[in-house]
Amino acid sequence: MKNLQNDISGHILFRTMLETFINLKYIMLQENDIPDVYDRFKAYGIGKYKLVMAKIREEKYLISDESQLQQKFMELLVNEDMDEAFVNTSFGYFDRTNISKKFIACDEKLLYEIYYEYGTNFTHGFWGAIRESAMLICDNPTHNYHTVPDYYAEQNIRSVENDCEMLMQKVFQQISEYIELPDFYYDK
């Protein structure tokens, strides 16, 4: 809808979609052995918000009123299920399993080794992604074809649209193993 499919943002969003999918699938996989795995996942995420709020409250850093951070809203979320005094703040991931092991446990090694690793270049601003998305070859032959910044956004990187559709089909398939979905979810 925002036409980000050929944009760096689209690649970053696709990586986020991958991580969200693998968390969903992993939680569903773990649910039989760890009945409170969803609660652990939720508590970990809320604890991360609590940690940010604590740092803001310390007033160690000055945060602009125009910032994306909405402290009041974060406080509402952190206190939604219980008073924040009882919300644990964990510095390890909710089940202490790294992301690559989750992909393997979910039998999604291809998604990790190809799509996730590729997307990581965009998320972390590594040179491959910078070169692919924001640098052009200088068209002056006397300059030995060095790269120059794409100041006018002429670079058009490959679309993530088909990959997003592939991943959404996996999401719907995964959810359909848990609950019955209407047929229109599978039409595309």
* Predicted local confidence at residue 187, as pLDDT: 65
pTM (predicted TM-score)? 0.83
Q: What is the 3-state secondary structure (H, E, C) of 103-148?
A: HHHCCCHHHHHHHHHHHHHHHCCCHHHHHHHHEEECCCHHHCCCEE
E strand or H helix at 10, and its extent?
Answer: helix 8-30
CA distances from 183 to 24, 61, 152, 176 (A): 21, 50, 44, 10
| 40 touches 144 (CB < 8 A) | no
Structure tokens at 75: 């406080």
pLDDT band at 17 (very low <50, low <70, confident <90, very high): very high
* Lowest mean pLDDT segment, chosen from 84-98, 142-156, 172-186: 84-98
Q: What is the pLDDT of residues 151-181, one digit of tens each?
A: 888 888 899 999 999 999 999 999 988 888 8
Structure tokens at 82: 């219980």
User: 6 versus 24: which is more confidently predicted?
Assistant: 24
* Predicted local confidence at residue 143, as pLDDT: 77
Alpha-carbon gap, residue 169 to 93, rounded angstroms: 27
Alpha-carbon gap, residue 133 to 153, rounded angstroms: 9
Which residue in this structure is represented by tokens 């409170």?
36
Alpha-carbon gap, residue 154 to 23, rounded angstroms: 36
Based on its alpha-carbon atoms, the radius of gyration of the chain, rounded to whole angstroms, reads 21
Q: Of 148, 118, 136, 112, which Cα lies nearest the Cα of 19? A: 112
Model confidence at 188: pLDDT above 60: no
pLDDT band at 31 (very low <50, low <70, confident <90, very high): very high
Q: What is the pLDDT of residues 40-77, one digit of tens each?
A: 899 888 988 999 988 888 988 888 889 998 888 999 99
User: 141 versus 119: which is more confidently predicted?
Assistant: 119
Model confidence at 100: pLDDT above 90: yes
* Predicted local confidence at residue 171, as pLDDT: 93
